[in-house]
Structure 1
Amino acid sequence: MQVQELGHLVLYVRDIERSVRFYRDVLGWRQILPAPGDGGELDRKPFAAFNAPSGRTHHELLLIEVGEDAAALPEGRRVGLYHFGLKIGTTDDELRAALAKLAETGTPVLGMSDHTATHSLYIADPDGNEIELYVDVPGIDWETPEALGSPAKPLYL
C-alpha cells in the first residue's frame, strides 16, 4: 500500500454553529453540507462538511457536534493530534493578509515561526484544536535536509 495524499480531516466540536462560523467565515472554507441557508434552525444538523475553494476533492473537513458537555482537550504534553497545517498561499503578503483577518475577527495568534521551508502562524479553533496557517518559502529545495530539519526561528511580519 502507498498513501497518495491526505484526503480529509474529521473533528469533533462542541457547538456546530460556532465551529461552522469559524471555519467558513474566518478561514474561508466552502461549506458544502448542509448547504448554507437551507431551512435554518428547524433543519439544524449535528455535522458540517467543507472543501477548500479549489474544490480539490469531495470534502476536506468534516465537523461533528458532540455537545457542550464533551471532555476538553487535555493541557500540555499528550498523545494525539498536535496541529494540522493549512497552506494559505505562497507569499508573506498572503500571511500578512491572514494576520489582518485574524485580528479583524478577534482570533488570537498563538505563535509565528520561520521554519526555513515555510512561514507559519498558529491559531486555535473554538474547541482548542491548533491550526498552522502557512506559506511555502519560494526557492527552497525540498530535497535538502536543511530545508526540512532546520530549527524554528521567530517570524516577523
Structure 2
Amino acid sequence: MALKLKQLAHVCIFARDVEETRRFYEDVLGMKTVFNFTREGRLFGFYLDAGNRTFVEVFENGSAEYSGKNQINHMCLEVEDLAEAVAHIRAQGIEPTEPKKAVDETWQAWIDDPNGVKIELFQYTDASAQFAGGDRVADW
C-alpha cells in the first residue's frame, strides 16, 4: 500500500505583524485572503490562496526567531484518505497523532520528519473553510 499524496496543501509561516504580512502577500504577491483565524476576539492568523488548492497559512508569533530559521512552522500535505494515510504511516513504524477535525473543518494528523520538521496530513471536507470561507476561532 502506498500513500496517495495529492499535493502540497499549505505552508505555515509565523509573522511578527499579521496585518503587515497580509499586506505584503496580498499587495506584493497578489494573493487573496480566504479566511481569518481569531483568538480572544482579535485577529490571530489567516489563510491566503496560492492557487490550485494550495495555500499559505500565517499565524502571529512575536516570539519566534527570525534569523533565517523558524519562519516556516510546518508543511501540510493533502491526502486522498486520511485514515489510509495514517494506517500506511503506522505500517512504516511511525506513530502519527490521532486524526481529528480542526476548526477549519478539515481532518488532520501530524508526524515529524527525521529532522524534526512538522508535517500535517490534511483531508478536506465539503465544509472546509479553505473553500467555504468564513472566519474561524482558533481553539489552540
TM-score range (shorter-chain normalised) is 0.3 to 0.5
Q: Using structure 2 for the length normalisation, give the TM-score.
A: 0.45
* Larger gyration radius, structure 1 or structure 2: 1
More strand by percentage: 2
